[in-house]
Structure 1
Amino acid sequence: MSVTSERSADGQELTITIKGRFDFSTHQDFRGAYEKENQAKRYTVDLNGTTYLDSSALGMLLLLRDHAGGERAEVQLVNCNADVHKILSISNFSKLFKIA
């Protein structure tokens, strides 16, 4: 498992990439990827390498959304495999996040 983050050249977007299992064991790494970020206007969570997602991961995504501004936040989840997309769909996360 690894969590990395990268800011766009203009500083307006933060991309967080998750490889492997996205579960409670990633909590501190995931939070650390955005916690000190206060300049980004948009957040992207790249789930291309994510092999597993559980309820604690869903909670972490909600905490990111709150950090980013709640209802007015621009947070998108991208590159979801079929299993991850199914979990997000069942959880109605498409109503809270843009899923691409």
Structure 2
Amino acid sequence: MAVTSTISGDGADLTIVIKGRFDFSSHQDFRGTYENLPHKPTRYVIDMQDTAYLDSSALGMLLLLRDYAGGDKANIQILNASDDVKRILTISNFEQLFSIE
């Protein structure tokens, strides 16, 4: 499992890429991608193109990111999720909390 991130030149957009399994073992790496920045981004993109699996702890990590990013005002987009990952997000009603494409 690998979590990497890139920040836009103006610092407004943070893209987090998750490869492999997204579970509790990635907790520190995931939080580190957004908590240690000099300025809080205004937009977050979670790229799950290569995410093979996520569990309940991953759902919790996404909720922690949402709280950190501003709760109901957060601008978080989940992109490129596989059908299996989308199914888990949908069953968990995450489409009401995040933009999932």
TM-score bin, normalised by smaller chain: over 0.9
Deviation digits for residues 39-86 of structure 1 (CA, Å, limit 9, x no counterpart):
310001100100000000000000000110111000111000000000
Partner of 2:58: 57
Q: When the two structures are aligned, how many residues end up with a matched partner?
A: 100
Deviation (angstroms), 1:6: 0.3
Runs of 4+ residues deviating >3 angstroms: none
Partner of 1:4: 4
Q: TM-score, normalised by structure 1?
A: 0.97
Partner of 1:85: 86
Q: TM-score, normalised by structure 2?
A: 0.96
Partner of 1:39: 40
Cα distance in 1 for partners of 2:3, 2:71 equals: 22
Over the aligned positions, Cα root-mean-square deviation in angstroms equals 0.8
More strand by share: 1
Q: Which stretch shifts more, 8-17 or 49-58?
A: 8-17
Cα distance in 2 for partners of 1:8, 1:79 equals: 19
Deviation digits for residues 18-44 of structure 1 (CA, Å, limit 9, x no counterpart):
000000000000011111233310001
